[in-house]
Amino acid sequence: MINRGAARSIRVLVVDDHPVVRAGVRSLLAGAADVEVVGEAEGGNQAVEEARRHDADVILMYLRLPRVTGIEATRRILAGQPEIGIVALTSPDAELEILSAIEAGARGFLAQTSRKAEFLEAIRRVAQGEAWLPPHLTRRLLGHFQTRPAAAAVEALTPREHEVLERLARGVSNREIAGQLGVAEITVRTHVSHILGKLGVSNRVEAALHALQMGLVPLDALESAAQDVDRVERSG
């Protein structure tokens, strides 16, 4: 996770087995002042090597790589560099692959046809340790996400942890949650850690899906946030 206040750009590695796709992603991100594409990889093994060599902050990882898949590459990378944020690139109908990527530790998910604003928002969020799960993917995932938190686990959440979980599920960053609740950012990180432990999940994406299942956040709230991102792009 990087400090957004620092001068260094977000270092991005693009992983896809098609050179035209990699070139397209480079072109898409070229105009962003705070994002730098530092390398490319065409396969899972190369992705592991390049992630280490380039000290990447975020990896855009195509899941359907030949031989060593993007899911396996995600596991290997995070085993040695857990601070890297991985954004999985896939098709919207690949729910089971996305669920596997969540289990492997990916924090963001994008359809390869996503707009530039979505790519940039996902990269920036994930670089800060947040999750990025677009509403259209979320709707499809909920039908396959069968593991519900036990009632005792939900009841164990404090009122403040409920507030944090609700905002986390809406895609609000730790810094923004801290501002909304009037607490320090480190306090929010502590709350998030406690929430993950009580729900028995390993990352923010799983916690967000649980929050949606629990009814803490309506899906239309996520769609509204996504529309805000789209409006920013169109106005820009």
In a domain, 139, yes or no: no
**Of 125-134, 146-155, 169-178, minimum mean pLDDT range:** 146-155
Task: Mark whether 28 and 119 lie in a shared domain.
Answer: yes
The least confident of 5-19, 22-36, 88-102 is: 88-102
pLDDT of residue 228: 44
**CB contact at 8 A, 218 and 224:** no
- Of 54 and 173, the structure prediction assigns the larger pLDDT to 54
Average pLDDT estimate for 148-159: 76
Q: Each residue of 79-106: pLDDT tens digit?
A: 999 999 999 998 767 777 888 888 899 9
Lowest mean pLDDT among 34-38, 84-88, 173-177: 173-177
Give the integer Cα–Cα distance in Å for 95 and 87.
15
The residue among 33 and 203 whose pLDDT is bigger is 33
Which comes out higher in pLDDT, residue 222 or 36? 36
Confidence of residue 174 (pLDDT cuts 50, 70, 90): confident
35 pLDDT higher than 90: yes
Residue 36, pLDDT above cutoff 90: yes
| Nearest C-alpha neighbor of 84 from the set 63, 122, 102, 57 | 57
The alpha-carbon radius of gyration of the chain (Å, integer) is 17
Residue 92 has a pLDDT of 66
What does the alpha-carbon distance between residue 29 and residue 116 come to, in Å, rounded to a whole number? 7
Structural domain boundaries, residue 184 = 151-235
14 and 107 in a single domain? The answer is yes
pLDDT at 233: 45
Question: What pTM, to 2 d.p., does this model score?
Answer: 0.74
Residue 124 phi/psi, 5-degree rounding, is: -65, -40
Of the candidates 221, 217, 222, 216, which has an alpha carbon nearest to the alpha carbon of residue 154?
216
Burial-class residue 30 by CB neighbours within 10 Å (0-12, 13-18, 19+): exposed
**Domain count of the fold of the chain:** 2
Q: Write the CATH number for 215.
A: 1.10.10.10
Indicate whether 1 belongs to any domain: no
CATH classification at residue 51: 3.40.50.2300
In angstroms, what CA-CA distances link 53 with 80, 86, 162? 13, 16, 40
Helix H or strand E encompassing 13:
strand 10-15
Q: Establish if 125 belongs to a structural domain.
A: yes
175: in domain: yes
| Contact (Cβ atoms closer than 8 angstroms) between residue 144 and residue 95 | yes
Final residue of a structural domain among 72, 100, 132: 132
Q: With a cut of 90, say whether residue 145 has pLDDT above it.
A: no
On whether both 15 and 53 belong to a single domain, the answer is: yes
Say whether both 115 and 155 belong to one domain: no
142 inside domain: no
Rounded distance, CA 172 to CA 166, Å? 9
Q: What does the mean pLDDT of the chain come to?
A: 83
The model's pLDDT over 48-63, given as tens digits with 9 standing for 90+, comes to: 999 999 989 999 999 9
Q: How far apart are CA 74 and CA 84, in angstroms?
A: 10
Which of 132, 164, 194 is at the close of a domain?
132
